[in-house]
């Protein structure tokens, strides 16, 4: 075999070996990254009508702050063609968690009355940095989950209490807008409380001031009565 051919094959073999090694390392790293990436899903809850929303990720690799889970449905043939509900957190959730919740009545009616593919429900979670993941389920799958069907889900330590849906106006607000709104409401409530306390204090002071002259008038009458007793 000519020397140049031997050298060429050696170089080709080295390149192939390094390329294969790189591919293996890349697949291992990406596999671990994919396993550590945020994942979420829906499962039947502890009783019919209750759903469990779960989300998990590798905390050491992804510093997520989840402030909202959101559901929306599109039901073209139904009386209620669109609907939204959400559950928001302040402070945000920073570790994997399970959130049990119950659909609002309008939302549940739209899903239960739809055919197997008559409605599409979108599940989403959002972070304070505007990162989000979402997935869609047909109404047929949702009906099975609402009846208590379980789906495969990872073991997650933190299970939150059963949550109530946000007020409809909250679902439309981004995190910073929502926090600013809560801050404004808190300040208004504090100002109203301070005003009520001040009014109550003024009322007590006025009552005390009105009672003082009456006491001063009553005192001479008592003294005069005692003087009359002594003279008799």
pLDDT, mean of each 10-residue run, the chain (232 residues): 67 69 46 66 90 94 93 90 93 95 92 92 93 93 91 91 90 87 85 89 83 62 54 54
State the pLDDT at residue 30: 39
Are the C-beta atoms of residues 118 and 130 closer than 8 Å to each other?
A: no
CA distance 29 to 61: 13
Residue 38 pairs with which residues in a beta bridge? none
Distances (CA, A) of 198 to 129, 133, 205, 220, 228: 42, 49, 10, 35, 47
State the pLDDT at residue 27: 44
Closest by CA to 107, choosing from 87, 129, 130, 84, is 84
Are the C-beta atoms of residues 173 and 181 closer than 8 Å to each other?
A: yes
State the pLDDT at residue 165: 93
State the pLDDT at residue 84: 93
State the pLDDT at residue 73: 95
Record the pTM.
0.68
Name the E strands within 28-119.
Answer: 39-44, 50-56, 66-74, 82-93, 97-102
**Strand 82-93, strand 97-102: pairing:** unpaired
Helix (H/G/I), strand (E/B), else coil: 219: helix
State the pLDDT at residue 224: 52
């Amino acid at each position: 075999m000519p020397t140049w051919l031997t050298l060429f094959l050696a170089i080709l073999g080295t390149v192939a070996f390094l390329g294969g090694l790189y591919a293996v390392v890349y697949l291992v790293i990406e596999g671990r990254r994919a396993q550590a990436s945020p994942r979420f899903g829906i499962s039947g809850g502890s009783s019919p009508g209750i759903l469990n929303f779960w989300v998990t990720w590798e905390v050491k690799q992804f510093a997520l702050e989840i402030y909202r889970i959101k559901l929306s449905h599109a039901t073209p043939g139904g009386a209620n063609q669109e609907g939204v509900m959400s559950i928001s957190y302040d402070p945000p959730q920073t570790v994997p968690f399970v959130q049990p919740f119950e659909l609002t009545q309008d939302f549940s009616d739209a899903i239960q009355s739809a055919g197997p593919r008559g409605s599409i429900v979108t599940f989403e979670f959002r972070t304070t940095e505007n990162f989000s993941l979402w997935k869609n389920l047909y109404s047929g799958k949702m009906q099975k989950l609402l009846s208590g069907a379980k789906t495969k889900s990872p073991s997650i330590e933190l299970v939150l209490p059963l949550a109530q849906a946000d007020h409809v106006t909250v679902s439309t607000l981004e995190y910073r807008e929502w926090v600013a709104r809560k801050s404004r409401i808190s300040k208004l409530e504090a100002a109203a409380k301070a005003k009520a306390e001040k009014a109550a204090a003024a009322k007590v002071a006025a009552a005390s001031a009105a009672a003082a002259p009456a006491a001063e008038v009553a005192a001479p009458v008592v003294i005069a009565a005692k003087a009359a007793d002594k003279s008799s």
